[in-house]
Amino acid sequence: MKQKGNYLSVKDSRAIIRYNIKQMKHYEAEKRKPRTLAEYTVPMRDNRNLIEIDSLKTCFFTDNGTVMSVNGVSFDIPKCKIVGVVGESGCGKSVTSLSIMQLVQAPQGQVIEGQIRFNAGDLGQTEDGRDIGYDIAKTPTAEMYRIRGKDITMIFQEPMTSLNPVFTIGYQLDEASFIHNPGISAEDAKAHSIEMLKKVGISMPEHTYASYPHELSGGMRQRVMIAMALVGDPKLIIADEPTTALDVTIQAQILELLKDLQKKQGCSIMLITHDLGVIAEMADEVVVMYAGRVIEKGTAHDIFHNPLHPYTIGLQKSKPMINSDVNEPLYSIPGQVPNPINLPNSCYFKSRCSKCVEKCEGEYPRGVQVSDTHWVCCYLYEEKADAK
């Protein structure tokens, strides 16, 4: 429900509250419905993909109206690949990852549309040879407990807020083993936790195992979070800006560790960041988001050597270079992101774009495929794509 102007009357505010309550009750009731396996499983489009996100919409019902944090997002995470998701703060990167984990804060936050297909590899195949996966958007909470933390894990932005300060590192690592492997003994769980701490490069794992979070440095805590993510031998690791709170030297170590572990474990990584340098170093494929939508996606080579969308070009120009003229001010994209409650029907980037054409006044541009690996959502390339 959209607000009509910049200010709300008492009548409008009450109407929004009634609408929110009705919608939240509806979506919460949908979650509690008993479902058969066939109701929350679906064939994968491509067996090479681990995750397929298709037209995902996630919104928050607020007192000022409905905020579309994720508005029709579609992209794939292939097996054994690193997919970088980049964009400025508030563009929907983290909400997309929380939707995959079924961790969007309810009842205000709800996945209202779309599919998140997860190829767990344990549901068999269809008659035409396609793998059957879970549709996470419809998967019951009880079943999601089995997937989350084991097959799909998450490394959060700030480890100090993710680790419990009153329990030792060992207790928290062992807990993950007990949840996903109920028959494991305390000795085996401890041995496995120490092995994970060794794997992430902690030199004194037994000492760290017995320590509390506040006794460790920021880099050590982030390594512990990575170890916790590896306990269940995951198929997908979601890294939500894992190096933002760390200094540059520790940041490089953590990124190198993630890249090395991805190759050894044979898992996929969804790397969320606003740092294009990190994306260039780490990612095989890149997804660029703006105002809750994917505006460009392709291989790392496509995005960095042939950026097409004016927003992607602006992001790259905004990054300081070592050979930049010190007397020249750093480039910044003009204007502001549109209000997520009252989004226009036209291109969201229109008011900030220096390459606007007459068509930009029309409906939101459709996505066009400009090459086998490169996709962009912009009117500037529609005619070229149609000609091809």
- Give domain status of residue 123, yes or no: yes
263 within a domain of the structure (yes/no): yes
Q: Give the type of residue at 115.
A: Q
Q: Which domain holds residue 375?
A: 10-151+234-387
Q: Answer yes or no: is 253 within a domain.
A: yes
- 41-80 per-position pLDDT tens digit: 999 999 999 999 999 999 999 998 999 999 999 999 999 9
CA–CA gap between residue 212 and residue 308 (Å, rounded): 48
For the chain, which residues score pLDDT lower than 50? none
Residue 202: inside a domain: no
Interior angle at CA 131, CA 130 and CA 132, nearest 5: 115
Could you tell me if residue 181 is inside a domain? no
The whole-number pLDDT of residue 324 equals 63
Torsion, CA 311, CA 110, CA 147, CA 234, rounded to 10: 20
Q: How many domains does the chain have?
A: 1
Q: Are 188 and 250 in contact (CB under 8 A)?
A: no
What per-residue confidence (pLDDT) applies to 70? 95
164 part of a folded domain:
no
Contact 85, 314 (CB under 8 A): no
H-assigned helices in the chain: 10-32, 93-101, 141-147, 159-162, 169-180, 186-199, 205-209, 218-230, 248-265, 276-282, 300-305, 310-317, 382-387
Residue 213 included in any domain: no
CATH number of the domain encompassing residue 55: 3.40.50.300
Residue 43 lies in a domain: yes
Residue 386: predicted pLDDT? 57
Nearest alpha-carbon partner for 240 in 156, 314, 130: 156
What is the rounded CA–CA span in Å between residue 296 and residue 311?
9
Please report the pLDDT score of residue 340 as a whole number: 85
pLDDT digits (tens, 9 = 90+) for 208-237: 999 999 999 888 898 899 999 988 889 999
